[in-house]
Amino acid sequence: MTRKVHVHLVTPVVTKGIRDMNEIAPFARPDLIFSQSELDIGPPSIECEFDEALAVPDTIAKAIAAEQAGADAVIIDCMGDPGLHPVREALHIPVLGPGETTMHWAAMLGHRFSIVTVLESVKPMLTSMTRRYGVDSKFASCRVVDVPVLELVERFAEVQQRLAEQARAAVLEDDAHAIILGCTGFIGCASTIDAFLKADGITVPVLDPIPVTVCMAEAMVRAGLSHSRRTYPTPRPKANIGFAMPTGWPAP
């Protein structure tokens, strides 16, 4: 009998409903289930490293609670991967960030990749991540659609058009061989961008971060793999850390 895998998404913002779980439903199966939590304390959206820093403490707490509730893997639902490394230290199950995951996939799928994201303020964060994750030699460029995260839904048609135009420019002007959609709010846009590029005679992979990361999370669980304790050592419990951790942490 195939083991059931439970993947939990921590959406690291306080804006309720910003992640519609109907967007995740197409990936669910009887042996792959999903749950999700949002932050109680943090930013409304993440569009720079300041926002990312605000998101980290409650992202850690929500991830610990998800493991305690029985999740097999946690995905931090933001391309900036806020808190990825400290959450790995705190948890025993696989923890994945869409930024790291899609960058490594893109590096495998082509010589060079470009990221198309929301705003100019996100570019420094994503560029720094390419160096941190060791894929900067394959990083071609980062382009923007100039639409804030909280306006993506109401401007969806405009966003898709701008994504397609910037993806095309990344291929033709920046020599990108793969395109990463640089915001988890772009979920569902990859097929439209792919069709736009192919109509122009361009065939390159277009990576949608959440579907890619869901696939990786399930694969890691089924392979029995998780992060190295030499890289991500379990923190020693300390008093007065400034916010409440879930009861029972750390696990033995």
Residue 51 belongs to what H/E stretch? helix 49-68
In a domain, 252, yes or no: no
Where b means 16+ CB within 10 Å and e means fewer, 26-50 reads eeeeeebebbbbbbeebbebbbbee
- Our count of domains for the chain comes to 2
Sign of CA dihedral 123, 232, 5, 42: negative
What residues pair up with 143 in beta bridges, in sequence order?
A: 116
Report yes or no: 150 and 44 within 8 Å, Cβ to Cβ.
yes
> Does one domain contain both 105 and 205?
yes
Q: Which residues contact 237 (CB under 8 A, 6 or more apart)?
A: 249, 250
> Does one domain contain both 130 and 194?
yes
Average pLDDT over residues 142-153: 97
Report yes or no: 119 and 185 within 8 Å, Cβ to Cβ.
no
> Does one domain contain both 63 and 104?
no
pLDDT tens-place string over residues 62-104? 999 999 999 999 999 999 999 999 999 999 999 999 999 999 9
> Does one domain contain both 47 and 74?
yes
Q: Give, in degrees to the nearest 5, the angle at Cα 211 between 141 and 185.
A: 65
Report yes or no: 85 and 228 within 8 Å, Cβ to Cβ.
no
| CATH number reported for the structural domain that contains residue 104 in this entry | 3.40.50.12500
Q: What integer pLDDT is reported at residue 251 of this predicted model?
A: 62
How many beta carbons lie within 10 A of that of residue 68, not counting itself?
Answer: 14
pLDDT tens-place string over residues 156-213? 999 999 999 999 999 999 999 999 999 999 999 999 999 999 999 999 999 999 999 9
Domain residue limits at 205: 99-209
CA distance 144 to 120: 6
In a domain, 194, yes or no: yes
Predicted model pTM: 0.94
